[in-house]
Amino acid sequence: MSDAHHRATATTTTRIVGSMQTLAAEILAAWRRAQRLAAQLPTGSAAQRAAMEATDRLAEAFEAVSAAGEHVVDEAAARVLLQELEEPQQP
């Protein structure tokens, strides 16, 4: 392989890794927000159950994107999850 090909591959890999690290940080922040919210809501309420469900989904997403070099979930799917969890829930 040529030096140009190696540089292009390294640049692409760096961008992907950086993007996944940013995504993991965003998911971690959302996960923490969901945990705090769940702790503040009335015990057993529908709102608390929804916050706890969001916490579980975010924990799974964080584990998937931060797995040791394995891309269990792709960036687009994780961003869709974040977007869904940011939208206000209907009662």
Distance CA 31, CA 33 (A): 5
pTM for the whole thing? 0.60
Closest CA to 83 of 52, 40, 54, 41: 54
In the chain (91 residues long), the average pLDDT of successive 10-residue segments reads 50 54 86 93 95 92 73 68 68 50
In sequence order, what are the residues at sequence separation of 6 or more whose Cβ sits closer than 8 angstroms to the Cβ of residue 62?
24, 27, 28, 31
pLDDT at 14: 46
Q: Could you tell me the residue ranges of all domains in the chain?
A: 3-86
